[in-house]
């Protein structure tokens, strides 16, 4: 391939990334669920006919896109590409074939040009409700957690599968939103397919195979070149604790760099839980790969080949490889700690490229009210809503952590106005949490304080799915811990609630959430005094805390 051909291939590659970003933005514009249109809890990508991901949208979460990367192969195993027709759309929410729990729908759609199938578009989105117990850790098997959809056709040559939609409508507390989201997912794949065909017409492409090989060869070579810069011959070990459900969960990793790959062994990690904090293996691989890639090869676009050198060895008996039919509804509270664990290993090899630990797992309280909580005494209409929020991220080598920002998930914090517009709830407080950032030469990001009530001061319920309370984010290289989280009521006694599980907030009371802060990095005594003074002036660090930890 000569230089001009390489330049053209690079242009086509960039164009492909733009195509899948438009695919994702179409979903955001047309989605019914606030989780998609407000938080961006989704993924979108294009695949070749072997089920290999060529490109992903910039918008989206690594937990979705990196596990969706594996799911397209499962679709092709059931519905081979040769049997697909224009206007077909396929769907599943199988946690072990998709992205880890029933609340994520994955849709795959073939693309045709001149009557020939040329590629596949796939997407995933988190929906509000899929029936069952609702999103939360209380289920004791996946069958209690909601409607379980195998890989099926939801549209056959543009004709909706009415039997499928009948089951969907009666199986959810939010049938309009659920059905609307499915149409949105299909529409966004159609938008991607349209742009792909336009691109192929413009460049006179008969298929995407040659472009795919260029993308894969370039990505694999670039990733392995970055791996080659790492020290060899050592095993770097790290561990991290989650609050768990029945008991604490310990995640252990041993990382070694081989000639062309990075291998991570999770031997010693806690076994399965009886509740829904379990993690399917694909979700473990998704966030583990993301954590490594952030450090080792952050500038290389995400695709099948750029992730291939990251190999996970996950024992069959550990919580990161939980089999069907164990409950997995809130697999994120454990799975989203994995990038911190990966950086714990890599901090021993490239200390100048890692962050301190952050709040990591999203604080996204599922809220419910009306007759399904209060029966005949209900004072508000039935509602089911979830709102996405984050604590502070860990400190960076040369910069402070970010306040109230989601890492590693990357979803946006949902505006309170959007949630109040679709459910009878009121956010009485939503502000940064003073003194929550872990101290250091660079400090962690600040957490948040949230206070939530129902309209009419009615009782309502929260299906708590919170972590980093008993096990706050740790600092690195002498940095301090971030503040642990707190869950309770606004009463005079400050009643403490469980961090996980279904609980009713009594009439007249509010739910109070204090989100964790990120850990610090480096000796706090080395922090620039002007930065300490700025935080004190802004009311983010108290004078007493500044004197205690910074000596100023």
In tens, the pLDDT along 321-349 reads: 999 999 999 999 999 999 999 999 999 99
User: Which H or E element spans position 532?
Assistant: helix 529-537
- pLDDT tens digits for 271-326? 999 999 999 999 999 999 999 999 999 999 999 999 999 999 999 999 999 999 99
Tokens representing residue 217 in the block: 């060869």
Report the C-alpha gap between 176 and 180 in whole angstroms.
6
Q: Among residues of the chain, what percentage have pLDDT more than 70?
A: 100
- The strand order across the sheet containing 425-432 reads 425-432, 448-454, 511-514, 486-489
Task: List, in order, residues 6 or more apart from 434 with CB less than 8 Å away.
Answer: 446, 539, 540, 541, 542
Tokens representing residue 489 in the block: 């009521």
At residue 551 the predicted structure's pLDDT band, cuts being 50, 70 and 90, is: confident
Helical H segments across 336-493, by residue range: 338-346, 371-374, 416-422
User: Which H or E element spans position 224?
Assistant: helix 209-227
> 396, 355 in Cβ contact below 8 A?
yes
Judge whether residue 1 has pLDDT over 80: no
Angle at 67 between CA 472 and CA 185, to 5 degrees: 110
Judge whether residue 552 has pLDDT over 80: no
CA distances from 398 to 266, 341, 352, 445, 541 (A): 30, 20, 9, 13, 20
> 336, 347 in Cβ contact below 8 A?
no
Tokens representing residue 399 in the block: 């910069």
CA distances from 451 to 207, 278, 509 (A): 54, 29, 10
**Average of per-residue pLDDT across 212-218:** 97
As a whole number of angstroms, the longest Cα–Cα distance in the chain is 75
Can you state the angle between helices 62-78 and 281-296, rounded to 10 degrees? 130
Judge whether residue 13 has pLDDT over 90: yes
Instruction: Using alpha carbons, select from 446, 450, 391 the residue that is nearest to residue 420.
Output: 450
User: Which H or E element spans position 170?
Assistant: helix 162-170
Judge whether residue 5 has pLDDT over 90: no
Report the C-alpha gap between 326 and 328 in whole angstroms.
6
Instruction: Using alpha carbons, select from 155, 166, 180, 23 the residue that is nearest to residue 89.
Output: 155
Report the C-alpha gap between 201 and 206 in whole angstroms.
8
Tokens representing residue 289 in the block: 């790969």
DSSP 3-state of 160:
strand
**What is the pLDDT, as a whole number, of residue 394?**
98
Residue 455 is given by DSSP the state: G
> 445, 478 in Cβ contact below 8 A?
no
Tokens representing residue 245 in the block: 């459900």
> 310, 297 in Cβ contact below 8 A?
no
Return the sign of the alpha-carbon dihedral for residues 280, 283, 284, 285. positive
Instruction: Using alpha carbons, select from 73, 67, 66 the residue that is nearest to residue 52.
Output: 73
The pTM for the full model equals: 0.96
- pLDDT tens digits for 497-509? 999 999 999 999 9
Tokens representing residue 122 in the block: 């796939």
Q: Among residues of the chain, what percentage have pLDDT more than 90?
A: 97
Instruction: Using alpha carbons, select from 294, 387, 357 the residue that is nearest to residue 516.
Output: 357
**What is the pLDDT, as a whole number, of residue 473?**
98
Give bridge partners of residue 120 from the DSSP assignment: 47, 110
């Amino acid at each position: 391939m000569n230089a001009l051909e390489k330049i053209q291939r690079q242009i086509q590659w960039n164009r492909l990334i733009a195509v899948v970003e438009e695919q994702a933005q179409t979903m955001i514009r047309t989605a019914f669920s606030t989780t998609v249109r407000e938080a961006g809890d989704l993924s979108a990508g294009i695949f070749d006919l072997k089920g290999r991901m060529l490109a992903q949208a910039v918008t989206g979460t690594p937990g979705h896109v990196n596990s969706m990367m594996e799911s397209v192969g499962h679709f092709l195993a059931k519905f081979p590409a040769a049997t697909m027709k224009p206007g077909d759309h396929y769907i599943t929410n199988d946690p072990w074939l998709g992205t880890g729990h029933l609340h994520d729908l994955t849709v795959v759609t073939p693309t045709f040009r001149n009557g020939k199938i040329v590629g596949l578009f796939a997407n995933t989105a988190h929906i509000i409700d899929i029936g069952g117990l609702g999103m939360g850790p209380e289920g004791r098997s996946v069958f209690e957690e909601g409607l379980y959809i195998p890989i099926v056709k939801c549209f056959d040559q543009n004709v909706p599968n009415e039997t499928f939609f009948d089951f969907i409508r009666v199986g959810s507390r939010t049938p309009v939103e659920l059905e609307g989201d499915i149409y949105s997912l299909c529409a966004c794949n159609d938008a991607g397919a349209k742009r792909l065909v336009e691109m192929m017409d413009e460049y006179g492409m008969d298929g995407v195979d040659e472009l795919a090989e260029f993308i894969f060869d370039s990505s694999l070579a670039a990733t392995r070149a970055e791996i080659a810069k790492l020290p060899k011959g050592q095993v770097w070990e790290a561990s991290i604790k989650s609050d768990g459900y029945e008991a604490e969960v310990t995640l252990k990793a041993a990382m070694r760099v081989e000639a062309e790959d990075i291998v991570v062994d999770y031997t010693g990690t806690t076994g399965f839980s009886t509740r829904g904090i379990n993690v399917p293996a694909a979700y473990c691989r998704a966030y583990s790969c993301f954590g490594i890639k952030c450090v080792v090869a952050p500038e290389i676009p995400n695709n099948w080949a750029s992730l291939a050198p990251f190999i996970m060895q996950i024992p069959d008996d550990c919580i990161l490889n939980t089999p069907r039919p164990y409950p997995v509804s809130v697999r994120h509270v454990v799975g989203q700690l994995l990038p911190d664990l990966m950086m714990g290993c890599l901090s021993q090899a490239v200390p100048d490229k890692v962050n301190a630990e952050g709040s990591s797992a999203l604080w996204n309280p599922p809220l419910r009210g009306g007759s399904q909580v209060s029966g005949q005494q209900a004072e508000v209409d039935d509602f089911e809503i979830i709102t996405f929020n984050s604590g502070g991220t860990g400190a960076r080598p040369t910069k402070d952590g970010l306040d109230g920002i989601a890492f590693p998930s990357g979803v946006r914090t949902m505006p309170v106005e959007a949630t109040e517009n679709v459910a009878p709830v009121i956010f009485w407080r939503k502000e940064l949490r003073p003194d929550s950032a872990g101290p250091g030469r660079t400090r962690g990001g600040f957490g948040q304080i949230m206070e939530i009530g129902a309209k009419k001061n009615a009782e309502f319920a929260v299906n708590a799915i919170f972590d980093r309370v008993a096990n706050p984010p740790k600092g690195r290289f002498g940095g301090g811990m971030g503040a642990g989280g707190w869950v309770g009521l606004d009463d005079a006694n400050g009643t403490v609630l469980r961090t996980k599980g279904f609980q009713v907030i009594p009439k007249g009371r509010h739910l109070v959430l204090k989100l964790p802060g990120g850990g610090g990095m480096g000796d706090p005594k080395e922090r620039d005094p002007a930065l300490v003074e700025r935080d004190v002036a802004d009311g983010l660090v108290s004078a007493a805390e500044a004197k205690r930890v910074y000596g100023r």
